[in-house]
Amino acid sequence: METLEIGQNITNQSTMAAKKTPGKDEFLKLLTMQLRYQNPLNPMNNTEFTSQLAQLSSLEALNNMVLQMNDMLLYQNSIQNTLTVNLIGKNVKFSGNQINLKDKGEINYNLTANASNVTISIFDSSGKLIRKIEAGQQNAGSNNYTWDGKDSSGNKMPEGSYTFKINALDANGKPIDAATTSRGLVTGITFENNTTYLIVDGKIKLKLNEILEIC
């Protein structure tokens, strides 16, 4: 009777451990103990034993697959990081409305339809409107404007970061969607939480999938 109770306890332990998805070593330990303490008057069924061995084989195959996938991800990340370093010193295009003013500033936008009138508003770092430019008629698609860096009074603005807004109207005076884009120089790279970021113009942080074009 004592042997039978031990065998039942081991079987119960195996059931509980299976629910917790044990590792390979734990699985082998439980199986060995189950064989050791099985009731000699009622030994483990061959089908049950074969099933448990199959479970062990599946568990080991799954563990090996996980290890291989982790190795592949590490390899892929190392290649990505190596290629990303080559972007330092390159100009990139990305979604945004920033202007990096030096001597001049580039303004880029994309219109969904032909516009009878396009107005470009430029703001300083505090959000104050400093210049409004009437760009006139513009065709659908990619458009650009080179800002001379002056405000509405003709004063030369200091170098730095500015933002812009596009207001486009069709022939009937209805608004037209305008997607704004920015350009900047990749000055560095940073890695955070397994994610690679490009540092553009020393301050803008972008993920790789946010880059629209390498200029």
Tokens for 201? 């113009």
Which segment of 31-40, 42-51, 195-204 scores lowest on mean pLDDT?
A: 42-51
Q: Which pLDDT score, from 0 to 100, does residue 3 have? A: 36
Q: Which residues contact 42 (CB under 8 A, 6 or more apart)?
A: 4, 7
This model's pTM is above 0.85: no
What's the pLDDT at 27? 64
Check whether 6 has a pLDDT greater than 50: no
Write out pLDDT tens, residues 114-126.
999 999 999 999 9
Residue 176 amino acid letter: I
Give φ, ψ of 193 to 5 degrees. 50, 50
Could you give the percent of the chain with pLDDT greater than 70?
A: 67
- Provide φ and ψ at 170, rounded to 5°: -85, -170
State the pLDDT confidence band at 127, using cuts at 50, 70 and 90.
very high
The arithmetic mean of pLDDT across residues 138-157, rounded, is: 94
Beta-strand runs (E) in the chain: 91-95, 98-101, 105-111, 115-123, 129-138, 141-147, 160-169, 175-176, 178-192, 195-200, 204-207, 211-214
For the domain covering 91-214, report its CATH number.
Answer: 2.60.40.4070
Domain ranges of the chain: 2-85, 91-214
Closest CA to 214 of 171, 178, 183, 172: 183
The percent of residues above 90 in pLDDT, for the chain, comes to: 42
pLDDT band with cut points at 50, 70 and 90 for residue 194: confident
Q: Taking every pair of C-alpha atoms in the chain, what is the biggest distance, in angstroms?
A: 103
β-pairing, 195-200 vs 204-207, is antiparallel
